[in-house]
Amino acid sequence: MSAYDSNNIFAKILRGEIPNHTVYEDEKVLAFLDVMPQARGHVLIVPKTQAVELSDLPLEYAQAVFASAKKIIAAQRKVLQRHGIVQMQLNGQEAGQSVFHYHMHLIPGHLHELEEHEDKMADHAELAALAAQLREAIA
């Protein structure tokens, strides 16, 4: 088990202390748009349990993350009209992980076209509009 710091940014988002552009939520996961997207419609799926990375994630939450990923991928394909979706998940600082609460990235587009990881901030009004479209496509 890796030591979990409950002051990480995604823990604060899960507690409602920091706003997010939600695309999907159920009792085990929250999915929202990345504020530093590597492509338009970049979604992060965050399980509602204290897990730093994959090794710490209980299987019931892994199942919930993957179940929500299937719904979100379908919505991304419909809304963004991109068939390719890159699924990424970093384990440990040595892999480039920067937020130490497990999260799956779903990034529309081709691997070789993606923006740099954590490069620039997106426009919040655009994220809000896109999140609404994705929520509607999932519902």
Chain positions contacting ligand DGP, by CB under 6 A: 9, 18, 20, 32, 34-36, 44, 90, 96-99, 118
Q: Which is nearer to ligand DGP, 34 or 56 (CB)?
A: 34
3-class DSSP state of 79: helix
- Give me the least distance between CB of 83 and ligand DGP, in Å please: 22
At position 108, the amino acid (one-letter code) is P
Based on CB atoms, which residue is closest to ligand DGP, 67 or 90?
90
Answer whether 95's CB lies under 8 Å from 117's CB.
no
SS3 content of the chain, % helix, strand, coil (to 5): 35, 15, 45
Please tell me the distance from the alpha carbon of residue 64 to that of residue 2, in angstroms, as a whole number: 21
Select 21 or 80, whichever has its Cβ closest to ligand DGP: 21
CB atoms under 10 Å from CB of 51, counted, come to: 22
Shortest distance, CB of residue 41 to ligand DGP, whole angstroms? 13
Least distance in angstroms from the C-beta of 71 to ligand DGP: 19
Catalytic residues: 103
